[in-house]
Amino acid sequence: MLLEQYQLEPERVADQLPGILDQEFMVAIGWDADQLLLQPPSDHPLLGWAQCIVPECLVDAATYGGLCTGCKKRLAHSDMTREAFIADPPPKTGGGTYKWLIDEWVCQVNGCPRPISSRQTDLCGSHAGGCRAVFGHVTAETIARYLQLPTTVALAPLGGCKVATCLRLTHFNGGLCRIHAVRWREDVKAEPRRDFEHWCRVEPGVALSGVANLRGLEASVVTELLAGIQLRAQQELRTRYTYLNTIANDLRCQQVSTIFELDPPPRQRAVANVRLLADRERVLAATELTDWARAEATPSEEEITASTQLARPIEN
């Protein structure tokens, strides 16, 4: 039925599946096909999420009308009432949230393309080290003097982080951003025989409120996930971006070329999430054919045939 509805040919479903994606819907849910990130608006009726109530705070508060963990802490350390805090929140230290995903701060040395190593210095690691080498320590005063030196010049770019999911810049020579460098160090300490290249392919991205990261997945898997979201939306089912990240992480770990190859992972939470999207009957039931499918108390022969019809070409 899905094949008929969208005029898909069984042997070409993989090629044709992208064609069923409703571009208007993709825009509405914040799909960025270039970056492979889904950033649904927090007030989207089906993909929305509980953005912190503090103005201009873009962090997920987990409960609607609530404060995020960071704002709760800031409120606790202030002597303000909740109402006063929300009306006029003190500025955040560290300078915001979104920039860290893509638009990193770069070193304040003129023309230096490397990412900063800390907001305290606004210098890349190499220039912070250079400043320390010349003046013995890195303070606002020594940085100002260091920037005036004729020998303080821009360094060559180090490129992007090697982790497939990651959009951040390489921090040092290892080819990883700061967060992934820390994760790699911890992971390799726990499991010394870890393969670096494989780790880079499967490692999750930097978590960010309101962002589902579908990078590092096969294009066919991305299309299936988007089709799944679209079909769920047609049935008015909510899809949390956090669920998508969990599923995407499992799909990436298993390096599958279709969601139907996914082995249910052992974690109960993930199993429940996989069922939401990857269950064939559910995907099918979410289409127009639900009219007759709903009329059936149990899956009929017709439904089973329809499932097989959809699944076979996708599996091959």
* Residues in Cβ contact with 176 at an 8 Å cutoff, skipping those fewer than 6 apart: 161, 162, 163, 170, 184
CB closer to Zn ion, 107 vs 286: 107
Using CB under 5 A, which of 37, 138, 161, 314 touches Zn ion?
161
106 binds Zn ion (CB under 5 A): no
The footprint of Zn ion on this chain (CB under 5 A) covers a number of residues equal to 18
CB closer to Zn ion, 168 vs 232: 168
Binding mask 180-219 toward Zn ion (x if CB under 5 A, else -) reads x---------------------------------------
The binder of Zn ion chosen from 36, 128, 177, 259 (CB under 5 A): 177
CA–CA distances in Å: residue 165 to residues 47, 112, 214: 21, 25, 7
Q: How far is the CB of 83 from Zn ion (least distance, A)?
A: 15
Report the nearest approach of Zn ion to the CB of residue 246 (Å): 19
171 binds Zn ion (CB under 5 A): no
Nearer Cβ to Zn ion, position 7 or 110?
Answer: 110
Q: How far is the CB of 240 from Zn ion (least distance, A)?
A: 19
Is 74 one of the binding residues for Zn ion (CB under 5 A)? Answer: no
- Choosing from 101, 128, 166, 227, the residue that interacts with Zn ion (CB under 5 A) is 166
Beta carbon nearer to Zn ion, 10 or 96: 96
CA dist., res. 255 & res. 315, Å (int):
15
Among 29, 36, 38, 57, interactor with Zn ion by CB under 5 A: 57
The nearer residue to Zn ion, 129 or 264, going by C-beta atoms, is 129
**225 near Zn ion, rule: CB under 5 A:** no
- Taking a C-beta distance cutoff of 8 angstroms, is the pair 212, 38 a contact? yes
β-bridge partners, 51: 60
State in angstroms the smallest separation of the CB of 137 from Zn ion: 18
Q: What is the nearest approach in angstroms of Zn ion to the Cβ of residue 270?
A: 23
Name the segment binding Zn ion (CB under 5 A); options: 18-26, 118-126, 208-216, 248-256: 118-126
Which residue, 20 or 124, has its beta carbon nearer to Zn ion?
124
Interacting residues with Zn ion (CB under 5 A):
52, 54, 57, 59, 68, 71, 107, 109, 112, 114, 124, 127, 161, 163, 166, 168, 177, 180
